[in-house]
Amino acid sequence: MGNEEKQKIIRRLRRIEGQLKGIQRMVEKESSCVEILIQIAAVRAAVNKVGTLIFENHARTCLTGSLEEKSKDEVIEDLMKVLTGFIK
């Protein structure tokens, strides 16, 4: 993973961390359940985006390197396993 991609992911993870702390404060203050659920949905979307970025990096860097060692079908099968695990 390149330094720029890593920094982008770290920034997103820090933002998610802040969102989670905000949700914790909302629960402690007994904020509206609807407002809390909206924030939880936002965190879920942000986590999915980070996962997508990491998956893309895996596909572009890790798997392309595997093409020298494995057949195309094996690489595709590996990619599908990773994707299936990610979308669960």
Task: Please report the sign of the dihedral spanned by the C-alpha atoms of residue 7, residue 8, residue 9, residue 13.
Answer: positive
Q: CA 2 to CA 18: how far, in whole Å?
A: 25
Backbone torsion region of residue 31, taken as left when φ is above 0, otherwise alpha when ψ lies between -120 and 50, otherwise beta: beta
Task: Please report the sign of the dihedral spanned by the C-alpha atoms of residue 74, residue 76, residue 79, residue 81.
Answer: negative
In tens, the pLDDT along 29-80 reads 999 999 999 999 999 999 999 999 999 888 888 777 777 778 878 888 888 9
What is the model's pTM? 0.80
Tell me, what's the pLDDT at 13? 98
Backbone angles phi, psi at 71, to 5 degrees: -75, 160
CATH number at residue 80: 1.20.58.1000
Q: Which domain holds residue 9?
A: 3-87
> How far does CA 1 lie from the centroid of its chain?
14
Q: What's the total number of domains in the chain?
A: 1
